[in-house]
Structure 1
């Protein structure tokens, strides 16, 4: 009996199956049979156009979850998932295939069973992507929740620090005022000392309040900038002079290396004073007695860089990122220092608001170097380039 006659019964069953079924002769690899699902799937109307090589995709970019059909799979029986085959039109599709080697009347055949899973594969891939997106979103929510908890702890710490810092000068101020009111002093010289103490504590209190108000305005996005082209060297010289008394009181030498000519760049003079004063005061505050502060200027065609290098004990590497973060205070590095810890975060926001930036390089035991970058060209919206109106208020006004 011929092989083709022996297939008649097989054909009756195959036509009822829900799988695409192909039968190939092993010797000449001719397709002896294809049920109607196979013909439809492979987009042909005749077995004569079907071949083993015709099922092999032209491009085979293997991935961990996808295989590509090739003739070597026919050598042994097997079941292969996520296998790419090619239709007569050249279009590829993904299927699960089963291969059986059978003998009928001493004739050898390859039987190939094909289940098209292109739609299921796409749906599964989309589902996996959505699951991954959900997983990522969940992890981000966990991280945000962690950050919110840390922020809540930091805010509570900030409130405690601020309350303490406000109470200390206020208590000293009230105590001195009470002594003056009750005339509990022995001489006019002693009275003058109490008056000086009231003034100093009042200044410190104003500084703390300004920090808090500035920070609140920045957080609310209501900080106004009045950026003009001005000489940064003149402003630096003024701030060095303003901080000289504080430096001399600890025998700290401030060395400057400024060019003789003016350097014009764009900044808000009031805010830049605040930034420079904060950096310079920190360079003195966190320095060692009889230390040094070096200030120098570098420039290129786009920006001016002003460097502040101190000889303090430096900042631990794990603290460097925290210096510019809200509610983190350099008091962790030097517990004796006072303040809200908002100076550097405010300075960073102010520099960014003026189109510049602030950076820090430090090594524990080797001192710290802060530097600010100020643009020499206009980099902000035009509305920011304007003159500041006259005001008699403080920095937070």
Structure 2
């Protein structure tokens, strides 16, 4: 019973846009709160400074012009100062004597109608916070009216705390700035998310095509982002490899079908002829011998497939022992010669004087050398020469197998170690599944060595089997 996945899938562009937008909104909200607090504080400081400057200016005017003025002129002057104080509100301005008695004011109704507490005036602080009878708060700024050492009175400027902290225009400007930043940020996030999600969408679409068996995909490769470029490039290479493997699989199926169909047809026809007494005596015996050879060939193909698949799945154990390279090479060549017919090629062996020790699986070692000898023999159409030479290096041993055959075409040399690959010339002349060289290379690498094509031309081919020396 399958459980339904109720988790809703979100398109990548919407996911990135919403998450980035949430982050942007939280960031702008934090910036707005901090900016509002800063604006409120700076506005308060600025207005206190204006009040202080206003009190100082009024005091200087009284000292420099006339210490005594008619009350109407003083009130008019104070009203003008209050109106042009560059503040949204009209602060209270008082002229008081040394006893705190109010001599003049810019506003007829104020918190202090007759007198200001002398204790406030005698306080050393120029800016003081006072509490009214109604529970509100006032800020007071005072400047002395003084000529020389003679104190005539005080200029007192007061304003409520609410008016000092009140901000209107600055908050509007801040709101406009935050809104513009949010809009620009959202637009940038939207287009960036769209740009980043487009190639991922293309790759997802291409993946669905590959899933449906269509490997002929088209993906843009002009992405500037390194990770996106690597993703697209890697997926294109993967699809090409899958397409190539699909072709090899089809070729393998066709090759196996062809290679098995031919001997099966031959064996069936030969056995039917013997059964129906179409042939008899020596001829029937010859037919049976041919049938045995064909079945042996089919058995070899099936064994190659099983061995290759087992080795790919790491299901074949390796038994490593220390052996002499000289002995392994000589025994392998001798056993191979015993299985050949009378027209076997001439084989020359070149071994170093000093015995070389390697740690290998002797059976797998013989498989590689035998396969190289078989390939060399098949490459020579008539008689030829095979040379096997062992060369010593400081860290490894090279075993070169060289023939005098027609060589491997240059355009096929890059594919000879691919699974199920068979060259055009060999495909129709020699039976097989194209697993010999790939299998041999896998065995060599499993023994910490390698198998490579050293050179190939019209005069012959040389393969090199490399193994690490026993320390």
TM-score range, shorter chain: 0.5 to 0.7
Q: 2:390 aligns with which of 278, 297, 316?
A: 297
CA 275–297 in structure 1, closer or farther in 2 if over 3 Å, else same: same
Q: Could you tell me which residue of structure 2 aligns to residue 252 of structure 1?
A: 345
Q: Could you tell me which residue of structure 2 aligns to residue 269 of structure 1?
A: 362
Say whether the 8 Å CA contact 1:177–1:198 is kept in structure 2: yes
Q: 1:132 aligns with which of 223, 226, 230?
A: 226
Deviation for aligned residue 1:212: 0.8
CA 290–314 in structure 1, closer or farther in 2 if over 3 Å, else same: same
**Structure number with higher helix proportion:** 2
Structure 2: unaligned runs, 5 residues or longer: 1-184, 197-222
CA 231–174 in structure 1, closer or farther in 2 if over 3 Å, else same: farther
CA 313–271 in structure 1, closer or farther in 2 if over 3 Å, else same: same
Deviations 1:29-58 (A, max 9, x none): xxxxxxxxxxxxxxxxxxxxxxxxxxxxxx
Q: Could you tell me which residue of structure 1 aligns to residue 399 of structure 2?
A: 306
Please report the TM-score for the alignment, with normalisation by the length of structure 1. 0.58
Say whether the 8 Å CA contact 1:239–1:277 is kept in structure 2: yes
What does residue range 1-397 of structure 1 map to in structure 2 within 5 Å?
A: 131-187=225-281, 189-244=282-337, 249-250=342-343, 252-259=345-352, 262-332=355-425, 335-377=428-470
Q: Distance in 2 between matches of 1:236 and 1:183?
A: 48
Say whether the 8 Å CA contact 2:379–2:405 is kept in structure 1: yes
Deviation for aligned residue 1:340: 0.2
Structure 1: unaligned runs, 5 residues or longer: 1-119, 379-397
CA 136–260 in structure 1, closer or farther in 2 if over 3 Å, else same: closer
CA 331–208 in structure 1, closer or farther in 2 if over 3 Å, else same: farther
CA 228–170 in structure 1, closer or farther in 2 if over 3 Å, else same: farther
Q: Distance in 2 between matches of 1:133 and 1:377?
A: 44
CA 202–149 in structure 1, closer or farther in 2 if over 3 Å, else same: same
Aligned residues: 257
Deviations 1:85-116 (A, max 9, x none): xxxxxxxxxxxxxxxxxxxxxxxxxxxxxxxx
Q: Distance in 1 between matches of 2:365 and 2:288?
A: 31
Please report the TM-score for the alignment, with normalisation by the length of structure 2. 0.49
User: Alpha carbon RMSD of aligned pairs, Å?
Assistant: 3.0
CA 139–261 in structure 1, closer or farther in 2 if over 3 Å, else same: closer
Q: Distance in 2 between matches of 1:303 and 1:214?
A: 27
Q: Distance in 1 between matches of 2:320 and 2:395?
A: 16
Q: Could you tell me which residue of structure 1 aligns to residue 56 of structure 2?
A: none
List 4+ stretches of structure 1 deviating above 6 A: 127-130
Q: Distance in 1 between matches of 2:253 and 2:307?
A: 16
**Structure number with higher strand proportion:** 1
Secondary structure of the 1:217 match is helix
Which shifted more, 364-373 or 342-351?
A: 364-373
Deviation for aligned residue 1:245: 6.2
Q: Could you tell me which residue of structure 2 aligns to residue 44 of structure 1?
A: none
Q: Distance in 1 between matches of 2:268 and 2:328?
A: 36
